[in-house]
Every structure is written in structure tokens, then in C-alpha cells.
Amino acid sequence: MFKFWGNQEQPAQPHPQDSTSQSWYPPSVVSSPGSSRPSTPSSSSSGSFNYFSQSTPHVSPTEASGIINHLKDKSVDELRKLLSDKEAYHQFILSLDQVKIQNNIRDELRKETLQLARMNLEKEPQIMELRNQCRIIRTTELAAAQEKLSELERQKEEIMKLFSSSSLIQKLQEAMRKTEEESEALHEKLLNREVDFGTFVQKYKKLRTTYHKRALIQLAAKTSATG
């Protein structure tokens, strides 16, 4: 006669609780204690998928499909081993393409970080030398350069004062006053007959022309300054 599942003549099967009592998975993954049937490949793969979905809520459908493809061809014993053997489960996780990609990225980043750290350590003597040079420049050359700059700025201010509008107007006034004094002195010489009339006219005309030119320039400068 055929021996059906659960037949009394069938040899006693170990209770599923015995095989899963040492499991470190959540209760939703392993078989319920009241069930006398071993987990089938479909139920085991579904339970594993639920576990991944609960622990990693951001798994995309493509990634979930890849995990299912890894589980669907495994036997019942292999699935039970994944449920009870932590090392087997760990190796299974490492065999997933998504995990391999993440591990490769992590290793590359680690290598790049170590390379940058080595480069920084190699440049440390050069950096220290540059710092010392900067310190010397700040304490010696920079102080001398700042002093020279201050002197040049002082000279520039003096030159700007000499050529300012008020300074130029004042110089024009002084020049006009001197021209006026020279004209008066020349007129006194004419009265005292110290100079002939022809020479007086020539020099006096030149002095008065210069005086009026300066007067016009002064007037234009004042108008421009007030405007």
C-alpha cells in the first residue's frame, strides 16, 4: 500500500520544531510550531522573501526577483540549512549580486581613502616646510613690505593734496598775487624813470596777460568745484 503523508504506519518524523528550534530567524520566517509538515521550497522561499522585505523595505522589485531566483532552485534541506545555519545564511547573502556590487564599491572607496591618506602623509614634510616659510615671510618680509606700503600711501596722499582742486586754486591765487606785485613794481620803475616807456609797455603787457589768464583759470576752477 502507498504510504501517505501523516499515515500511522509511516516512521516517526522529527517535529519541525526540532529543526527550527535553533533558528535565529524571526518567527515569520520559520515554520509554525504547530505544523507537522516540513517547509516546502515554495513556502521557504516565500518566507525568506518576506524576511528580506521586512528587514530591507527599500528593496526594488528587480532585486527581490533576483533573490527569489537564488532561492527557488534550492532543495528543502538547503532551505532548512539557511534557516538554521547562520554561516550558511551569511555565505548566501554574500553570493547575491546586489551584495557583491555593494562590497566592491565599499572596497574601492576604502582603497581610494587609503591612497589619499598615504598621499597626505607623504606630503606632510612639504606642508610643514611651506608653513615654516609662510611664518618667516609673515615675521620678516611681510613686515618690511607693509612698512614700505605705508610709506608709499603717505607719499600718494601728499601728491594728491598737491594736485587737489583747492590746492591748485590756492597756487593760482599766489601766482596772481606775485604777478600783480611784479606789475606794480614795474609801474614804480616807470615813474622813477628806471625803465624806458617801450620796455615798460612790452613787459607790463606780458604781466597783465599772464595775470588775466590765471584769473580766468581760477574762476573756471571755482565754478567747476561748486557745480
- Residues 20-53 have pLDDT tens digits of 444 444 444 444 444 434 444 444 444 444 444 4
Burial of 82 (0-12, 13-18, 19+ CB in 10 A): buried
Strand segments, DSSP code E, in 55-110 are none
**Amino acid at residue number 41:** P
**In this model, does residue 13 exceed pLDDT 70?**
no
**In this model, does residue 199 exceed pLDDT 50?**
yes
Domain coordinates of the chain in residue numbers? 16-117, 123-162, 164-227
Question: Rounded to whole angstroms, how far apart are CA atoms 196 and 166?
Answer: 40
> What is residue 225's predicted lDDT score, i.e. its pLDDT?
67
Distance of CA 11 to the CA centre of its chain: 73
Question: Rounded to whole angstroms, how far apart are CA atoms 25 and 47?
Answer: 10
Residue range 119-133: average pLDDT? 90
Cell of 63: 532585486
- The b-or-e profile of 189-212 (16+ CB within 10 A means b, else e) is ebeeeebeeeebeebbeebeebbe
Higher pLDDT: 203 or 139? It is: 203
Give 196's DSSP letter: -
